[in-house]
Chains A and B, each alone.
Chain A
Amino acid sequence: MSLNTPDTQICLWTLGFDHPASLATYTANGGYEALRNILAEKTPAEDIIAQVKISALRGRGGAGFPTGLKWSFMPRSFPGDKYIVCNTDEGEPGTFKDRDIVRFNPHQLIEGMIIAGYTLGAVAGYNYIHGEIYEEYQSWEAALEEARAAGLLGRNILGSGWDFDLHAHHGYGAYICGEETALLESIEGKKGQPRFKPPFPASYGLYGKPTTINNTETLASIPWILRHGGQAFLELGKPNNGGSKIFSISGHVNKPGNYEIPLGTPFADLLAMAGGVRTGHTLKAVIPGGSSAPVLPAEVMMSLTMDFDAISRAGSMLGSGAVIVMDDSVCMVKALERLSYFYFEESCGQCTPCREGTGWLYRIIHRIEQGQGRPEDIDELLRIGKNIGGNTICALGEAAVGPVASFVKHFRSEFEYHIEHKRCQVGMSPSDKVGG
């Protein structure tokens, strides 16, 4: 089995084709077969959900929640309208996989959404596309038109008598809309402020109707699972961590990019695939699952496999599979300063502990970085973090705290050095740095 080739690729296998995104390429390679079979055989929804459960597919957006279980929460016999929503609001720093699915294999996502709609009894589906990728919003709309013209969407799909349609909804710049209930508010034409849960979207979702929200990569994996069987998907990965997963590697590697490999692949192999650490440098730290995942030091990371359970046991999260690699040139105070600014900027402002707390965190880290830190600042950061966690409606507050707590835990001496010596341990003093 050769890694990051069609042997292991669930979603990005079209990359080697001349027209990877076209309907012709997709259908010539087994595309829409799963949907045709389901509609021809009128496969019961329970059977589809059973295959998804066997596959051990876990949500690819960050939470890693079992998809089959999530689908089983949907009240399929509820008499009114129901919706399926795809979350392509990909704004977690380090993550850039869903954009490539939309760019290079839009029809597999469309097929996955249609199958999800059929299984969950939905009347329509929406794909919420990140504001900053307008070109992908347009290309996905074009792919929808292609599917509609081929009778795959709209009324009486493939002569089955079943009606279902899909639409794209374009975001316009708000990280918080990646949170599923904020995303629903946003589709309703409101500020993207998360809803209190319960009720969960499966009972009260879009327009108050039962709704299931899945990540792009999750939904795009569904046709593969139904074509090859849940067991085959499971066996590609490891128990409780079925399938391949796209890892987006950025930062200090020679070949940043997306690598779709089986869950359970050693991190060292993934790093090698990405061309290794930037030439002339050594690995210092890795954020293994998007900016909200706790950072891990190099030596811990090099001993891990890339799957939900291994990364979780090491004290971090596989999250969205966004691997941010930092080499020995990185000042951890400066890196954390930038991440903290992000959460401060993106807090929706609804809950006081997050709205105010993310600002406090950023300002303290900023002054430490500027050489104006105070001896009590490190403990103050941790104290503020404890007061944010668990006291907010959604997880953004905790996502802001995760990096702070882990950067301090693993690299405390760099923070102490900054405070004591009023300059950086890793070479340049703060004032020398480009961009301050």
Chain B
Amino acid sequence: MLSAASLAQIDHELTKYPPEQKQSAVMSALRIAQTELGWLSRDTIEFVAHYLDMPAIAAYEVATFYNMYDLAPVGRNKITLCTNLPCQLQGADQIAAQMQARLGIGFGETTADGRYTLKEGECMGACGHGPLCLHNNHKMHDHLTPESVGKLLDDMK
């Protein structure tokens, strides 16, 4: 189900923990699986659980608890915008309105062409650089301005 490269990454994560604590690698394993496949299906979660010798329900609990896992398909570009207070004070509401208008979708929605998903996020721990967003969970774009948002979105293929 996962590529050899993804499995090698999971194997690397396993080296960090005591041999009898393979479950410790589940968060990374789910991240690696999601990065390759785009989202976490039930089959994917079960595969990861099996790979780590843990009950499928325990992996499913983790996948449903942490909010950066996607349990349904998302657009090719998932944009998570922080709207928490410090970012809000620095203009996040305007950026949110602008992104929604430009993409024609609200938070939690995906464009019809499957290119974008927009999500409302919580504090990302970079408030001094706000407003800011995450692109596909792993790339942060900060100091967003009404001028910079259009190009940022257009550059996401």
Query: What residues make up the interface of A, taking CB atoms closer than 8 Å to B?
Result: 81, 90-96, 98-99, 126, 130-135, 167-175, 186-192, 207, 248-252, 256-258, 291, 322, 324-326, 330, 335, 338-339, 342, 345-346, 348, 433-435
Q: List 26 A-B contacts (CB under 8 A).
A: A95-B127, A96-B125, A96-B129, A126-B16, A133-B126, A134-B137, A169-B27, A170-B28, A170-B31, A172-B66, A175-B122, A187-B24, A188-B21, A189-B23, A189-B52, A189-B58, A191-B61, A191-B62, A251-B90, A257-B128, A324-B89, A325-B89, A342-B84, A342-B85, A345-B122, A434-B93
Q: Cβ of B61: which chain A residues have Cβ within 8 Å of it? A: 190-191
Q: Is B156 an interface residue (CB 8 A)?
A: no
The reply to whether B122 and A342 contact each other, CB–CB distance below 8 Å, is yes
Q: Is B96 an interface residue (CB 8 A)?
A: yes
Q: Is B68 an interface residue (CB 8 A)?
A: yes
Q: Is B151 an interface residue (CB 8 A)?
A: no
The reply to whether A171 and B93 contact each other, CB–CB distance below 8 Å, is no
Q: Cβ of B83: which chain A residues have Cβ within 8 Å of it? A: 338, 435
Q: Cβ of A257: which chain B residues have Cβ within 8 Å of it? A: 128
The reply to whether B58 and A190 contact each other, CB–CB distance below 8 Å, is yes
The reply to whether A171 and B24 contact each other, CB–CB distance below 8 Å, is no
In the bound complex, how far is the Cα of B137 from the Cα of A135, in angstroms? 10
In the bound complex, how far is the Cα of B90 from the Cα of A325, in angstroms? 10
Q: Cβ of B139: which chain A residues have Cβ within 8 Å of it? A: 134-135
Interface string of B37-75 (1 = CB under 8 A from A): 000000000000000101000100110011111000000
Name the one of B62, B90, B140 contacting A132, with C-beta atoms under 8 angstroms: B140
Query: From A89, which residue of chain B is reached at the shortest CB distance?
Result: B125
Query: From B24, which residue of chain A is reached at the shortest CB distance?
Result: A189
The reply to whether B69 and A133 contact each other, CB–CB distance below 8 Å, is no
Q: Cβ of B97: which chain A residues have Cβ within 8 Å of it? A: 434-435
How far, in Å, is B137 (CB) from chain A's closest CB?
7
Chain B contact-residue range equals 35 or more
* Contacting residues of chain B (127-149) with chain A, CB-CB under 8 angstroms: 127-130, 134, 137-140
Q: Cβ of A96: which chain B residues have Cβ within 8 Å of it? A: 125-129
Q: Is B30 an interface residue (CB 8 A)?
A: yes
The reply to whether A172 and B68 contact each other, CB–CB distance below 8 Å, is yes
Query: From B91, which residue of chain A is reached at the shortest CB distance?
Result: A434
Q: Cβ of B86: which chain A residues have Cβ within 8 Å of it? A: 93-94, 250-251, 324
Determine which residue in B25, B30, B84, B134 has the highest number of CB atoms from chain A within 10 A of its CB, and name it. B84
Instruction: Tell me whether A173 and B67 are in contact in the complex, defined as CB-CB below 8 angstroms, given that A134-B138, A135-B138, A167-B16 are known contacts.
Output: yes
In the bound complex, how far is the Cα of B130 from the Cα of A133, in angstroms? 14
Determine which residue in A126, A169, A250, A326 has the highest number of CB atoms from chain B within 10 A of its CB, and name it. A250
Name the one of B21, B123, B129, B137 contacting A175, with C-beta atoms under 8 angstroms: B123
In the bound complex, how far is the Cα of B86 from the Cα of A412, in angstroms? 22
Q: Cβ of A248: which chain B residues have Cβ within 8 Å of it? A: 127-128
